[in-house]
Amino acid sequence: MRVALFTIPSFRPKKERRKGNLLAGILAFLLLAALPAGAVEIKLASSLPSNSDWGIILDRIAADWYRISNGEVILSISHQRAGTEEQYLQWLRQNRFQAAVFTSSALNSVAPEIMALSIPFLIRNNDEFDAVLAELRPMLDAKIEEKGYKNLAWAKAGWVKIFSRSRVSVPDDLRKLKLATSPSDKKFSDAFKAMGFQLVGVSMTDIPMFFNSGRIDAIYQSPIAVQTTSLYKMANNLLSLNLAPFMGGILMNRQGWESIPDRYREALREVVRKAGMEFEDSFYRREAEAVDIMRKDGIFYNEISPQEERIWLNDINARIPGLVDRNVFDKNTYLRIQDILQRYRGSH
C-alpha cells in the first residue's frame, strides 16, 4: 500500500550544509576512483537528491562504512536514481544494485504485514507509533528476510493528512468529495471505497489538471509533498487529524549482505540504524516547517474538536474489521497492533 500518493519531494538544504555535501561527494569519488583490490562494493539506489538533508546523510554513511571497514567495504550511492520503487526491487533481485532506499509502498510489497501499520486512523500519534514498532520490528524484519532482503534501518517519515477544497470536519464531509488516489494503490483504494469514500485514480503529474477541471476535490498526502508542489493552493483546507503514518527503510539483498565480511556487518548496520534516526528527525522537522509555511500562506488548518475526532474514530473503527476479514489488511498483524495500542493507551 502507498499510504502517500507519491514519493516525498526533496528540498534544498541550508547553505552551510552545501559545503559538507560537496566534500562528501568529492570523498566518495576519490574512494571509488581508488577502489582497493579485493574490496566489496555495495551499490545503493536512492531517489533522494544529493543536495537534500537525506542525501547528505547517505553520503556520510558511505564515509563511515569505508572508515569502519578499513576500505574493505565501499558504499557507492546513486543519488536521484531514475526509476520506480518496483524497479528498484527488481534491480536488487537482479543484483544490479545491492541496496536501495524505499518508502511504504515497496516495503509493503515485500512484507504485506507492514500494510497494517497504515490502517487509517488506527495509530494516532508518534508515541503510539513508537510503541507499536518497538514490538513489531523483530517480526517485520524476519518477514523481510524471508523474502531475501536485509532491512538495514527503519525510518518514520511523518504523517499522511487530508487536504481538500472545502472544510472537512467529519467523515461524511469527506464522503461528499472526490478523493484522489494513486492508480497503483489498489488495496488502499479498496479500503477507502469500502468505507464509503469516492476514489479517483490520478498520477502526481495530473493532480493540478484534475483539480482545475473539478474531477477531484481532495487528496491524502504528506504535508511535505503538498507544500513543495504548491498543491495546497488548490486544496487549501488541511484536516488536523493524522490519517496514517508514513514509513521508509533501506533494504539490502542477500547477495550484498553476505558479500560483506562478517566481522564488519553489525557495525555497518548500526551506522545505518543511527542514520535512520536522523532521517526521522529530518522528516518531522521538515513536516512541521511545511505546515507552518502553508499556514502563513493562507491555508485553513481545520483543528477538529474532541467530539468530531470521536466521530472519525467510531466511524472508521466500525469498518476496519470488515477490511481485515477481506484480507485488505493482514489480520494477525492488525490484532497485534490492536493489543499493543490497548495496553499502551491503558497505561497513559
Answer yes or no: is 10 within a domain.
no
Answer yes or no: is 263 within a domain.
yes
Answer yes or no: is 152 within a domain.
yes
| pLDDT tens, position by position, 220-267 | 999 998 999 999 999 999 999 998 898 889 999 999 999 999 999 999
Answer yes or no: is 8 within a domain.
no
Answer yes or no: is 128 within a domain.
yes
Predicted TM-score (pTM) of the model is 0.81
Work out the mean pLDDT of the chain and round it to a whole number: 86
Closest CA to 83 of 49, 47, 43: 47
DSSP bridge pairs for 218 = 164, 179
User: Rounded to whole angstroms, how far apart are CA atoms 78 and 260?
Assistant: 19
What percentage of the chain has pLDDT greater than the value 90?
Answer: 58
pLDDT of residue 120: 84
DSSP bridge pairs for 163 = 219, 238
Give 14's pLDDT tier (boundaries 50, 70, 90).
Answer: very low
Contact between 107 and 156 under an 8 Å Cβ cutoff? The reply is no
Per-residue buried b or exposed e for 125-145, using 16+ beta carbons within 10 Å of the residue's own CB: eeebbebbbeebeeebbebbe
Query: In the predicted model, is pLDDT for residue 6 greater than 70?
Result: no
Question: CA torsion sign, 116 to 118 to 122 to 128?
Answer: positive
Structural domain span for residue 334: 15-346
Query: In the predicted model, is pLDDT for residue 131 greater than 90?
Result: yes
Mean pLDDT of 21-37: 56
Answer yes or no: is 3 within a domain.
no
Query: In the predicted model, is pLDDT for residue 4 greater than 50?
Result: no
| pLDDT tens, position by position, 195-211 | 889 999 988 889 999 99
Answer yes or no: is 80 within a domain.
yes
What DSSP line would sit under 47-95, residue for residue?
SS-TTSHHHHHHHHHHHHHHHHTTTSEEEEEETT--S-HHHHHHHHHHT
Total structural domains within the chain: 1
User: Rounded to whole angstroms, how far apart are CA atoms 64 and 58?
Assistant: 10
Answer yes or no: is 54 within a domain.
yes
Residue length, the chain? Answer: 348
The CATH number linked to 93 is: 3.40.190.170
Give 5's pLDDT tier (boundaries 50, 70, 90).
Answer: very low
